[in-house]
Copies of this chain bind each other. A is one copy, B any other.
Amino acid sequence: MANEKAEGYMRVAVDAVVFSVIHEDLKVLLIRRNKPPFKGKLALPGGFVEENEELEGAVKRELTEETNISRIYLHQLGAYGEVKRDPRGRVLSVAYLALISPGQELASTADALGAEWHSADDLRELAFDHKRIIEDALNELRFEIQATNVAVQILPSKFTLSELQHLYELVLKKDLDKRNFRRRIKELGILKKLNEAKMEGAHRPAQLYTFKDKDYQPLKDRIQVFT
Contact = CB atoms under 8 A, between A and B. Distances in A.
Interface of A: 1, 4, 7-13, 47-55, 76-79, 81-83, 90-92, 94
17 contacts: A7-B48, A8-B11, A8-B13, A8-B91, A9-B10, A10-B49, A12-B81, A51-B90, A54-B81, A54-B82, A76-B78, A76-B79, A78-B79, A79-B79, A81-B94, A92-B92, A92-B94
- Stoichiometry, copies per complex: 2
A79 to B, nearest CB: 4
Between A76, A81, A94, the greatest number of chain B beta carbons within 10 A of the residue's beta carbon is seen for: A81
A48 B79 contact: no
Contacts of A83: 52-54
Contacts of A9: 9-12
